[in-house]
Amino acid sequence: MRFCVNDDRVAWRVVDGEGVLLHAETSAYFGLNRTGTLIWQQLSRQTMSADDLAGWIRHRIPGAPADLAGDLGAFLAQLSELDLLDQADDHEDPSLRSPTIEDEPDADTVYEPPVVMPFGELEKLILSGE
C-alpha cells in the first residue's frame, strides 16, 4: 500500500516547522509535530509505502530508531482514518515503486514519533471568536 496527499481535499501549510492541515469537506483542522510535518511534506511530493517512508526518515533524520514500523503505521493509519491521505495499490503504477531520496540528512532535527493532533472544526472556532 502506498500513500499520498490529496491537495484537492486537504489544504496545508507549515508554520514554525509544524504542519497545519485543513480538510476542505469537513472543515476539521489538525496539527502535525516536526516529524509528522516532514513525512507530510515528503508525501506531498511523492507517493510512498510505509517501508519507503521508514527508509527516508532514517536517511533524513540521523538518530531515528531502526524500527519505525509502529510509530509510522499508527501515524499513517490515523491520517487515513481522518481522510487526509489517499491510498493506492502498489501495482497501479510501476514507476511509483522506487522512490528517490532527495533530501540531505538534517543533523539539527531530532526524531520524535510522528503525531497528528485534531483541533476541531474551523467554522466552530471562527464562530466562537477564540
For the chain, list residues with pLDDT below 50.
Answer: 94-101
Distance CA 61, CA 103 (A): 10
Question: Which cell numbers in the block locate residue 93?
Answer: 503504477
Predicted pLDDT at 63: 87
Predicted pLDDT at 107: 77
Distance CA 61, CA 109 (A): 6
Question: Which cell numbers in the block locate residue 2?
Answer: 502506498
Partners of residue 67 on adjacent β-strands: none
In the chain, what are the domain boundaries?
A: 2-128
Predicted pLDDT at 97: 40
Predicted pLDDT at 96: 46
Predicted pLDDT at 84: 96
